[in-house]
Every structure is written in structure tokens, then in C-alpha cells.
A and B are shown apart, each in its own frame.
Chain A
Amino acid sequence: MIEADIHVGDELPGFELTVTSTVIVAGAIASRDFMPAHHDSAYARGQGAPDMFMNILTTNGYVSKFITDWAGPEAILKKIAVRLGGPAIPGQPLRFSGQVIGAEDRGDERVFEVTIRAANDLGDHATGTVVVSLPRKSDS
């Protein structure tokens, strides 16, 4: 993706994450989060949750992947701001969607604001905005 191909109003290609216990545990441990709610279903249910659930670091990680899978390896994330909703739990696919809502030049970069939503059948898991930049081509 190059910056000239991105316009305000563009929708990002959708991404559906199959959420399994393994996906949740792998993300939790890779992010060094050993809280039992992120790997122990019985513990999580005892705390009132429907099942073990994805930790926030992993949610942010998938938001980052969702953005850079679209924007490409020259993309640099400036901000990931999310409001957290219902849990991401095994057996509930998480559907990511997004739309470009702003674009401006800053120095040698073009900076985009993108709204994102990750939702499952329980409702919104995370909604918010990501700020991401791509290098500007020289004007020559």
C-alpha cells in the first residue's frame, strides 16, 4: 500500500479471527500476561466471565496486525486507542472492520486516522481509532 492509494472513506479489508483457547493462551503468554482469566476457563467462570478471555495486549496486537496487513510494512503506528467492550472468548470469531476517517501530511509522512471495530456475537469487543503513517513519495 502506498499513501497515494488511500483516501478518506476507504474501508479496510475485513479480517475474521478464529478465536480458540489456543489463540487466547498463545497471545497471553507471548505478552507475558499470566493472569488465570486468560488461560483457565474454570477460573474465569468463577469470576463471572463466560469463559477464559483474550487479554488486552493481545487485542491490541491483533488491531496492529489488522492495520499493517492492510497498510503494509512501511506503516508506522502512532496510536491505538480502544474502548473495551465484551470479552473475546473461545468459539466466538472476532470480526475486524475499519474505515479511514482522516488523512493529513506531516513532514515526510502522510498520517491516517482509522476507526476500527472488533466484534463477535456478544457485541463489540473493542472499538476505537488507530493513527498510522506511511512515507510520502518525493514531489519530484
Chain B
Amino acid sequence: MAEDEKDPVRDSLEGFIGKPMGEGALAPEEVNLPMIRHWVDALDDRNPVYLDEAFAAETRMGGVVAPPAMLQTWTMPSPVIAGIAERGGAPTAMKSENVVTALDAAGYVGTLATNSELEFVRYLRPGDRLKTTSALESISPRKRTSLGLGYFVTWITTYWAGDDEVVGTQLFRIFKFDPSTLGGTA
């Protein structure tokens, strides 16, 4: 099929747009110094505002803050390690159907992350407890790329501290493709 032919798969996905990608996540713990220290050591990021309270208090931070790129870390799901490879890396069994599982079922099993856009409304401090909501923003028409035929899928995750304060967002775009169409002309 060419890109511009009728596409019942794409048509079947229209109802997902604007809907959540799944249940929202609640961070298992508050933003905390042990996890910040783990990150600081792992990435060798020695910005003193992440761990040195006395130093940070003298900056405009006013006290230690979490590395901003940790935003996504706080609500990462607690994994079930057993079977994670068999689940294709999914930390736990997927509960809800969303556009990704629908595309998997239609044969578009390949996944390539193409864009990430993190926006930080404010830096996080120890004690902040995060939760997320998400919404599917768009699904492209079917496109051919060097990986084969597929769809660009874009969603936005909103990060909340407490019930009513947005502290950041992440736009994420993936290309869901059918590996069997690689290099084909069909």
C-alpha cells in the first residue's frame, strides 16, 4: 500500500486521539535525596545545587533541588524483573489498550523513539510527590521511512505535584512501524 491510499488501520485509531495513554502514574515515593545522589553519581553531574544544602541555600534555588532531567524518573513504574525480556521490556504487564498496543496488534510492532521535549515549570524539591496524566496528541498518516511503513504517534505527559500544580510536561513521539515492510515498494 502506498502512503496515500485508504488506510483502515489509521481510521481505526482516530478514537484514541485526546484520550489518556493509560492509567496515570503516582510516584511510589516523594522526591528524595537518596535517588538524587544515585543519579548524581551515575551521571557524574556535580552541580552542587542537587546535594549541597548549604551551597544551594545561597543560590536562587534556596535549597537543594532535583536534577530537572529526573522528572520522568520519579513516576517510572516499579518493574517486575521476572519476564521483563519476554514482555519486550515493558516493566509490568500492560493493562489497558492504547494506540501502541493497537498498532502492535495490527503488525506495527517496531518502535523507535524520535522526539522528547521536556518542559520544566519549576524545579522539584525533596518532599514533592508527583503524579502524571497523559493524552494522545496526534497520529500521523502512514509514512514510509528507512525502517518501513508506520505511524508517528505523539503524546504529552503532564507531571503534577499534589492535585493542582503542574510542574512539567513531556512531549514524546515514537515511530511505530511494520518491520516486514522494510525496503519494500508495496
Contacts and interface: CB of A to CB of B under 8 A. Distances in A.
Contacts of B70: 31, 57, 61
B43 interface: yes
Chain B interface size band reads 35 or more
Interface of A: 26-27, 29-37, 40, 43, 48, 56-58, 60-65, 68-69, 73-74, 76-84, 135
Contacts of A57: 69-70, 72-73
Contacts, number: 110
Contacts of A64: 45, 67-69
Interface of B: 35, 38-39, 41-45, 47-49, 55-56, 59-61, 67-70, 72-73, 76, 79, 81, 84-85, 89, 91, 113-120, 123, 171, 179
Contacts of B84: 34-36
B15 to A, nearest CB: 28
B47 A60 contact: no
A31 B39 contact: yes
B9 to A, nearest CB: 23
The 3 A-B residue pairs with the shortest CB-CB distance, nearest first, are: A30-B42, A35-B89, A32-B76
